[in-house]
Amino acid sequence: MGLCDLPAELVEHIARLLDRTDILSIRLACRTLYRRSTAAFATAFFSTVKIDLCPESLERLNRIASDDLFRRHVRHVRICELFSPEQCSNPPGHAPGTGHHWVRDPSTYSLDPSPVANPVIGHLHAMFARLVNLQFLSINPDIVTVPEPNPPKSTGLCVLDMVHVALLAVANIPLKSFHLNRGTLMRGWINSLVPSNIVESLTPPWSTHLIDLQLAWHPVFNRTPRTRCPLVDIVLCGKSLRRLSVICPPSEFFIRVLAARDSDRPPLEVLHLRFVETSPGHVQALVLRFAETLEHLCVDRATVPAGAEDGVNWKAVLADWAANLGKLQSFAISWLSNTQAVQNDRVLFDRVLEWDEGGELPSGGKMQFIPRSISTREPGRGWGVIGLRYSNPGRGADVRRVFAKAVEASYTEPADAARWQGRPEGEHLIAGRIPAKVVRIFECPELVL
């Protein structure tokens, strides 16, 4: 009995288990297998579509959106740079959107949203509307060419332009997930704005459908007030958010989210804060705002800039979270510093590795730690354990107890602490029972869309 003799449903299931190369091979075998593997082919090759807003990639997206089968399999559109000559004929390192004639408002230099001035935006919106199962839009400005201060109208797009185009294109489209990932852009078109009224067109569908949001500010953007408001507005319009990840958030993010009405508070389950520069009190209040629903908390690389001290230290903040986050299923805390100037003024968790079975050690779960480096094993000084993560789904009481015990065991690194040399590898057995795995960075839990 060959594959063609099996029921069609079984062949389709087998095809879904194959990798891309094998799917292409099976489609070349015969017409029957070609037909029965079409769904697996569409899922493997069209669930995620990459575009760089240049003519070639938009034409490719248009062909997919015009196909009645393939358009139904697109779940994720990723706006990024395409380097392959087969994907884009523009020279390597070109700015996204190169090849189109972009018209800008002469007063603000932002893109003109009118479909007459910039018909590409209207065409992109029409294509997104035909992708009936589109759930996830991400912007990944990995390497963005920095334009000249006064570029001609035909020049490509910078990061903020890409955000502007994307938000215009998804207006009234019920996305579930939107990610703006920070790239390597160190300078930028700071005067190229995302207009503050852009979020108004997103509010109706996004307030009820958007459940996963990731925003990454660049430090350059943080120092430019005109670039802040629209991205914060995106957070505020998500009334159904369950996962929020923010990188390098400006102080305005904390101020405006904390000032929002309680009735607008989303049922947040996952909160990831990374590269935070604000007072510990701001971070403390933000996390506690979601205390009734929060299940996973990750705070990575938080410092207190000069002038932002509020008399609250991180140990007090952690103790408050351990006492009040009643639904916590996992936590990850790393690289917390009480000041920005003193390199050694950080919170360490070395003593957690000395836990024993009869006291603090839980009976199960998964523990990970980030060691800065190591040379000796002198208690409280030898390890450079700068971060700790513990998860035990379904055992919230254990998670909260471990959190509280970890806070008790934490301490601030002495200013005269010696620098450690070398790095540990593998796993460290705590009292011979729970292996605490060494990792470099803690990842925030993902939602199943």
- Residue 432 pLDDT: 47
| 49 closest CA partner among 76, 22, 80 | 76
Q: Which pTM value belongs to this model?
A: 0.83
- Residue 331 pLDDT: 93
The per-residue DSSP string of 19-44 comes to -HHHHHHHHTT-HHHHHHTHHHHHHH
Distance separating alpha carbons of residues 321 and 406, to the nearest angstrom: 12
- Residue 185 pLDDT: 39
Strand-pair partners of 243: 212, 270
| Ranges under pLDDT 70 in the chain | 1, 82-93, 141-155, 182-203, 218-230, 306-310, 340-344, 356-361, 372-383, 414-436, 438, 440-441, 443-449
| Structure token digits, residue 420 | 């450690």
- Spell out the residues 6+ positions from residue 238 whose beta carbon is closer than 8 angstroms to its own: 206, 207, 210, 211, 213, 244, 266
Q: Please give the single-letter amino acid code of residue 447.
A: L
Are the beta carbons of 214 and 178 closer than 8 angstroms? Answer: yes
- Residue 359 pLDDT: 61
- Residue 256 pLDDT: 87
End-to-end CA distance of the chain: 38
Domain boundaries, the chain: 1-45, 47-267
| 41 closest CA partner among 58, 56, 57, 22 | 22
Are the beta carbons of 285 and 316 closer than 8 angstroms? Answer: no
Distance separating alpha carbons of residues 32 and 172, to the nearest angstrom: 40
> Sign of dihedral through CA atoms 155, 202, 271, 393?
negative
Are the beta carbons of 202 and 167 closer than 8 angstroms? Answer: yes
